[in-house]
Amino acid sequence: MNSPQPATTRFALFLRGINVGGVKVPMAQLREVLTQMGGASVRSWLASGNVALDWPGDAPGLQRAAEAVLGERFGYRARVLVRRVDELAAIIAACP
């Protein structure tokens, strides 16, 4: 019998300062790292560092995990802004 999968939330991650100033983060490797740390349906846009993924925890936990693993894997002080996709949709809908 399969155990139930934990509920996930769709998040957007915005990585600061990548692919500029000597900080190289290939998007394929970024998606791989985020998947290995527990993200699902990971999708990146261009080489911007903008990523969407499903995550079983909360935003602060995802931010801490992403900053730690990215810093370790790519050798820089990672700064990641994390927002729920539904929050971003509400902001866009409220924009006059």
Distance CA(41)–CA(24), nearest Å, equals: 23
Tens-digit pLDDT profile for residues 45-91: 988 889 999 999 999 999 999 999 999 999 889 999 999 999 999 99
Q: What angle do CA 33, 18, 52 make, to 5 degrees?
A: 50
- Provide the 10 A C-beta neighbour count for residue 49: 23
Per-residue confidence (pLDDT) for residue 4, from 0 to 100:
64
d(CA 50, CA 31): 11
Specify the pLDDT at position 17: 80
Domain ranges of the chain: 9-94
| CATH class of this structure's domain 9-94 | alpha beta
Distances (CA, A) of 58 to 46, 54, 61, 86: 26, 11, 5, 13
Largest CA distance in the chain: 50
Over the stretch 17-36, which tens digit does the pLDDT of each residue have? 887 777 888 999 999 999 99
- The structure's pTM equals 0.87
